[in-house]
Structure 1
Amino acid sequence: MSNSGSFQRGPGASADAERGARQQQGSRPTPGKVTRTSKLRPVQAKRGGADGGAAAAGAGGGGAAGGGGGLPGGLKTGIESLSGVSMDGVKVHYNSPRPAHVGALAYAQGSDIHVGPGQEQHLPHEAWHVVQQAQGRVASTTQMKGVELNDDAGLEREADVMGAKALAMGGSEAAATSAGPAASGPVQAVRNPDFGGVVVQRFGSLEHKTLGDRPTGSAEYDMGGHTAESDADAYNAAFRLTHGDIIMLSGDFFSPRDTRMNEQGVEEPDPDSLFRIAGTPSRSPGQTVGSWDEVVYAIKKAMPNDDRFQPASLPGFPDGHPWASVRFSADVMAAVDARYLRRAASNDEHFVAPTGTDRGPTAGDRASAGGSYRALHEVAIQMAYDEGTAATAMAREAAAQHFLTDHFASGHLRTPRTSIRAHWQAIYPLFWDNIRNKIALDVATWINDNENLGYLASVDQIYTDIQTQVVEATADIPPMGFDDLVSLVTHDFDNENGLWVTNDLGESWKLFGDGNLDSADPDNRTREMSELAVSLGNADIEAAAQMGANKGDTPLSAAELFDSVRSITGAPASAGVKYGPEQVLPRLDSARASENGSSNWQQSSMDELWQAQVTSATAATYGSEITASMQGGELQHELAGMAEKFPESQDVMGVFTVRPRQAFLDGFLGPLVANPRTGLQSILDFSPSRGQAGFNEDDAVMREIEGEDGAGGMSDEQLGGLTMNQRAERIRALIGGWTGEDEGEVVIRIFETTPAGDRARLYEMVEGHPWTGNWREGFFVVDDDIWDALYESQLERLRDIIGH
């Protein structure tokens, strides 16, 4: 639905395969209970014969046999110019046996293109499928031999046309192909250059858009415009958005409000305002930050296959549209992408009960989906009344309806986003720091093990440099917490499986959510009820406009106006304290409570969460769902997006070349995907001493906690966020060799910042036996390692800290 959690459903992959004359036969395997092919990356395959195109998503996904080289330079340039999507990470695997496995001549999956022997002519077509996948437009529609296929003829037609156009733009160089694979290893992860690294949950953009366009007949609203004396005349003559466009853009990409409260509590203009940005013409189409160029780019990112972006040469599309030829500047794209990430990181108002209690419309503006809709709906009502027309106010109502339609996503109905965040951030407050530090250490270790740097630099030296780069590269990414993973699974599970709900109209149905709006479940009425609510909301605006046109000399007060609108609400709603659309809003059906079950997100540790059922009504556990999302699903995609933060290659001392991006994929992401539970635990328990030579372990810990050259270090509050395993491992590193007085002081700090009730247990984790009130030392016992390492005065202080 909207930037609903902190999570976003990632783009699909595609495989374009041309089926050969001889079709391979085979029965489809029955999916197992844990297998969820909807989470897997689609594969698009170019098929031979008359079947047309198809897309397939392999269950295994992944690497290409024999490695692969990049796209030919001319073709690469043509594809990037037409799409605006970087092809830097694309690998082409020539003479590949894999297409034959799905009855194809060639296919694309993620960033890998597999071309069968002698089928190089399909490379431009396949390259455009990589674009479609990166833009999130490919979903599986059928299956062959356990592989999910997409038989979307529109995508195939587009790939034919755009691939040919890219080839023509690139000239003879674009057509040049290699007879064999290059020596570099396969790229293993799909990436999204725009939204990598943050996890977002929302209705799909198409879902949001259709919920507004269908009830209104795609009504359009003039957002402002003028005719300038420049080449931008046609583009700037008028700027119109449909009802569905505005629902889709509001909340996720832009603010539906014109003002905001700053940190001082003073109201000020909102720089993210959809209506301000959409009302500002562009000085140069596609190039002007703060203008409606940003809106057009956001629509293209959300709906790249929209007719308005199709060139006139494509059959079936209208002749020419000012948006079709627009090329966006890096600044415009960065502005939209950064805003999207900011809004995704703070989106509790997209949930019905973010703190666990549904307070409905009375929650207040920005407090919940219901509260935000009520506030924005009344802004639109007041505008319609004041102006005596619905022309402008209806666009405001569309912006409000983003939150109205959010209310109809089952994953938003009972996921307590705020409460989940508070609960898990209190348990694992350092998750974001840990994940960035672990990325740096894993990348450093991989480079040390796989590149020719071992005799020039240690893991510790490489880690120090990489860590700085990681912090700088991720500065624009909102922090990802362990709570995001928990919210993602909780949210997605309800969206996919549905919830039994009812409403004030006495209707009972099964509600589905993001990506499942049109689920084939016979009890699904999500679209019907959502569109009814949208229609009733629009009727309120029309009613207010009619009242305003006849208000005379004594206008109604705001309270009188709102009461009047509620009193004449249309059927099937009825007059009351709620507006018509609010009477359609779903709530959990208490009569079906056993079927809905209750969520079990509130555990005390990852170990407990891993074993816990997602809800009391299912056997699926958080562990199985996190694993499914990490292995070919949303979490893997989002983490893989961070690969873009690392360069493909980097020179060292002008002599050596290292591969930071491959180090991220193979050193960090690969092991995490292969074993999510172990990988997550290693993030939670991260220690900079791991992978270091023994003499560097204490130095790494000292630099982490105390900083270096007056910079860095950890506060007592940060130390208090360490897990018990992290504390014990750091102490063992500090006392493992010769221990200086400064290192002894850090050991004391670690104990001091440990909760008093856990200090004796920390001692036992370090020493291997219980604390008895004093140090174990003497002729007839093995001395405590802490006793051997610290100075006498330090031991006395530490003994008092642990407790007698």
Structure 2
Amino acid sequence: MFKDITGCLLMSWLMVISCYASQSESSMPHRQLIETSLEQGGIDFGSLEHQRIGNKVRLYWDPLTPPPSGKLTLPNGLQLSYGEIIMYAGDFFGNTSKVISSCSPDQQEECFYSQFSTLGLTADDPNHPCSDPFLLTTAYGSHFAKIQEKLDMAQQKGQAEWDFFKEYSSDNTKALNRISCGGSFVSALIPFGSYLKLASVNMDHFVPDSLTAYKAGHNAALKSAINAHKYLQKNQNEKAREALHLAYAQNAFANHYLTDSMSSGHMRTPRRAVHNTIALPDILNLVIANFMHDEDSRYGLNVVNSRGIAWRAFGDHYLKHPDAQPHYEMILKITQMSVDAVYTAFLTGQIPDELEELAWLPDYSNIDSLNNHAPLFKWEDGHLLKRVKNHDPYDYHWTKYWSGLLMLLDFQIHGKSGSDSHNERISG
């Protein structure tokens, strides 16, 4: 009797929320579900790791003079490190109407420019703080400096980085939403600021779309490097320097998508299928996709690339795990190869015939044959399949008969999989 009543109530919620799926985040009845889902899990994609990776790469300038500050000057005058640009790209600055992988192939590079311009071209405008990259990067930079201080203190007390962010994820999401002009006096999460709006359509950050986005941005950077070469040939060194700054900045923006492609939580999560298939608001579909993102990040994945090199990939917040060093070194190698290609284009004036760094990426097509845990979702024969047991990563059974709403409610009740009892690989 109780099961029947509960089932009827849940199905009623499903029908009602589906009817309101296209309404704004502040409308009822799904506002409470949105707030509860975001409150419980948070939306967090390893920003500090992006920054660390970018700040490890080496930029070459010869025969030009390198910038004394070590920072890149963007066309609008904003000065940022290579790592800061990687961190901000896509997650904090972007255009929700120009998802690169959703653009036609002949428009993808133009769509990348639309994404990049929100950080690199938009002028300083105090009258429009929500779109002013100077004000926003100052606020974000201050926020992450405080996060780093708290993280350092937590690590001194023996807390692992992934545990720190698991504990802090909800507060971090609220703070980032407010910085990006979201929130209100009654809610830190509603209405959405640009951070959550961008996250709601972040298909460009998950394989295979992340590779499409990277190629578009990297190609734009190579073209800017060739422009720098042309100026150098004419002895117009100042213009050559500006063009090379732009090339490196564009490549840093593109490297966000490249480094996402090397995070285990982004390798096989069918982000676009979740976005297109489930009849719920975009933000809830993001939360659902993040269940798999977080699980694959936590457990890691065995991978191998086309060169025959095998290793275990880790995900967001796990790059300091004791077993993650080979993965971290591979990320740095691939990112440096991308940077070096830009410098080579500057020296030679030629776009390379192929992108050599891609051969070092995992072969994503064979991940599920490498003795990994069962994916929470997979796209098969035109259906988005869900693992039968949400909280057992070693259940290799899937079904096409499932409800996104019921899944959200289940995770609210039972939490995410990968609890201590299932987490030996990470905690051990």
Same fold flag (TM > 0.5): yes
* Alpha-carbon distance in 2 for matches of 1:288, 1:295: 11
Report what 1:511 is aligned to.
Answer: 313
Please give the secondary structure, in 2, of the residue aligned with 1:596: coil
Deviation by residue 1:399-427 (Cα, 9 ceiling, x = unmatched): 0000100011111111112223445x2xx
Report what 1:536 is aligned to.
Answer: 337
- 1:480 counterpart (259, 270, 284): 284
* Alpha-carbon distance in 2 for matches of 1:347, 1:333: 16
Please give the secondary structure, in 1, of the residue aligned with 2:306: coil
Report what 1:239 is aligned to.
Answer: 78
* Alpha-carbon distance in 1 for matches of 2:129, 2:216: 34
Deviation by residue 1:254-306 (Cα, 9 ceiling, x = unmatched): 12899889x99998999974445444554659958535212322333444356
Please give the secondary structure, in 1, of the residue aligned with 2:371: helix
Q: CA deviation at 1:209?
A: 0.5
Cα distance change on mapping 1:199 and 1:250 into 2, 3 Å: farther
- 1:222 counterpart (73, 78, 85): 73
Please give the secondary structure, in 2, of the residue aligned with 1:292: helix
Cα distance change on mapping 1:632 and 1:245 into 2, 3 Å: farther
Report whether the alignment pairs 1:253 with 2:61: no
Contact 1:289 1:331 in 2 (8 A): no
* Alpha-carbon distance in 2 for matches of 1:293, 1:485: 29
Cα distance change on mapping 1:248 and 1:591 into 2, 3 Å: closer
Report what 2:205 is aligned to.
Answer: 350
Cα distance change on mapping 1:297 and 1:580 into 2, 3 Å: same
Greater shift, 288-297 or 343-352, is seen at: 288-297
* Alpha-carbon distance in 2 for matches of 1:279, 1:385: 20
* Alpha-carbon distance in 2 for matches of 1:507, 1:605: 31
Matches within 5 A, 1:241-640: 241-255=80-94, 273-280=115-122, 282=124, 289-305=131-147, 333-334=180-181, 338-353=193-208, 368-388=209-229, 389=240, 390-423=244-277, 425=278, 429=279, 431=280, 478-481=282-285, 484-521=286-323, 525-548=326-349, 561-562=350-351, 565-566=352-353, 578-588=354-364, 590=366, 593=369, 595-601=371-377, 609-610=388-389, 613-616=392-395, 630=412
Residue 346 of structure 2 aligns with an amino acid whose one-letter code is A
* Alpha-carbon distance in 2 for matches of 1:543, 1:258: 33
Deviation by residue 1:635-678 (Cα, 9 ceiling, x = unmatched): 9xxxxxxxxxxxxxxxxxxxxxxxxxxxxxxxxxxxxxxxxxxx
Cα distance change on mapping 1:306 and 1:223 into 2, 3 Å: farther
Report what 1:169 is aligned to.
Answer: none
Report what 1:723 is aligned to.
Answer: none
* Alpha-carbon distance in 1 for matches of 2:96, 2:394: 36
Residue 181 of structure 2 aligns with an amino acid whose one-letter code is A
* Alpha-carbon distance in 2 for matches of 1:264, 1:607: 28
Q: CA deviation at 1:612?
A: 7.3
Compute the RMSD of aligned alpha carbons.
4.7
Residue 207 of structure 1 aligns with an amino acid whose one-letter code is E
Please give the secondary structure, in 2, of the residue aligned with 1:370: helix
Matches within 5 A, 1:82-161: none
Cα distance change on mapping 1:537 and 1:340 into 2, 3 Å: same
Please give the secondary structure, in 1, of the residue aligned with 2:311: strand
Residue 135 of structure 2 aligns with an amino acid whose one-letter code is D
Contact 1:205 1:303 in 2 (8 A): no
Deviation by residue 1:366-415 (Cα, 9 ceiling, x = unmatched): xx111111111111001100221432201110000001000111111111
Residue 81 of structure 2 aligns with an amino acid whose one-letter code is T
Please give the secondary structure, in 2, of the residue aligned with 1:254: coil
Q: CA deviation at 1:545?
A: 0.6
Contact 1:512 1:524 in 2 (8 A): no
Residue 220 of structure 2 aligns with an amino acid whose one-letter code is V
Contact 1:279 1:292 in 2 (8 A): no
Cα distance change on mapping 1:289 and 1:503 into 2, 3 Å: closer
Structure whose alpha-carbon radius of gyration is higher: 1
Q: How many residues align?
A: 313
* Structure with more helix by fraction: 2
Unaligned residue ranges in structure 1 (runs of 5+): 1-190, 226-237, 308-327, 354-367, 433-477, 549-560, 567-577, 636-804
- Aligned residues with identical type, % of pairs: 22
Residue 199 of structure 2 aligns with an amino acid whose one-letter code is A
* Alpha-carbon distance in 1 for matches of 2:368, 2:386: 30
* Alpha-carbon distance in 2 for matches of 1:590, 1:301: 39
Deviation by residue 1:591-617 (Cα, 9 ceiling, x = unmatched): 982521442536999998446743447
* Alpha-carbon distance in 2 for matches of 1:491, 1:400: 21
Cα distance change on mapping 1:256 and 1:346 into 2, 3 Å: closer
